[in-house]
Structure 1
Amino acid sequence: MNEETLIDRLAVALAARVASALPVAIDLWDIATIALYLKREPGTVREQMACLPGFPKAIRLPTSKGRAQPLYNAKEVIAWAQSYRDKN
């Protein structure tokens, strides 16, 4: 097998394993994803940010066990963070 064929096979194998990203306009983020975006710890986001009055409201999808983990509209989270940009 030559080098080019090996590279092609690797590319196909990697593409099969990588999840396709949803557009930010429709994606739902959990606390861990928001924490990555904001460069904070998940506990900080959960306990000190998500409870703020202006933070986007959670979306809770129904489950058979009752209470679902909160999800947040990615676009709203980004807009919320951008609202804190310095004005000067």
Structure 2
Amino acid sequence: MNDKLAEAILAELRFQGRQDDALWDASDIAHYMKLSKSTVQCRIICKPHFPRALKVPTTDNGGGRRWLAREVKQWVMRFREAI
């Protein structure tokens, strides 16, 4: 197995192991939704009914926005198609 594949598998296992009360950033949301980070930033998290972000104070001039994984998953499931 090459190193790149092993790293990808490890990253996926880490992502799947996160609990629903975990905080996700835009990259985590993009990974979960199988979209690019820029699509998530420009077209998803700006929607009025998308879960509100938590602003984690990480720097002097603001902080990073994070979302509860559980709320993001619930929001996504609202758009499930009926079969």
**Pairwise same-fold verdict (TM > 0.5):** yes
Rg larger in structure: 1
- Secondary structure, in 3 states, of the residue corresponding to 1:80? helix
Q: Which amino acid aligns with 1:51?
A: C
Q: Residue 65 of structure 1: CA displacement?
A: 1.5
Q: Residue 62 of structure 1: CA displacement?
A: 1.6
Q: Residue 87 of structure 1: CA displacement?
A: 2.5
**Structure number with higher strand proportion:** 2
Residue 33 in structure 1 maps to residue 28 in structure 2:
yes
Q: Distance in 2 between matches of 1:86 and 1:43?
A: 25
Does the C-alpha gap of structure 1 residues 64 and 75 become closer, same or farther in structure 2, counting only changes over 3 Å? same
2:58–2:64 CA contact under 8 A, matched in 1? no
Q: Percent identity?
A: 30
Superposition CA RMSD, Å = 2.0
- Secondary structure, in 3 states, of the residue corresponding to 1:62? strand
Total equivalences in the alignment? 70
Q: Residue 66 of structure 1: CA displacement?
A: 2.4
Residue 87 in structure 1 maps to residue 82 in structure 2:
yes
5+ long unaligned stretches in structure 1: 1-17
Question: What is the TM-score with the length of structure 2 in the denominator?
Answer: 0.74
One of 58, 66, 69 as aligned partner of 2:53: 58
One of 60, 65, 71 as aligned partner of 1:76: 71
Q: Which amino acid aligns with 2:32?
A: Y
Q: Tell me which stretches of 4 or more aligned residues in structure 1 moved more than 2 Å.
A: none
- Secondary structure, in 3 states, of the residue corresponding to 1:52? coil
Q: Distance in 1 between matches of 2:44 and 2:18?
A: 24
Alignment of 1:6-25 (within 5 A): 21-24=17-20
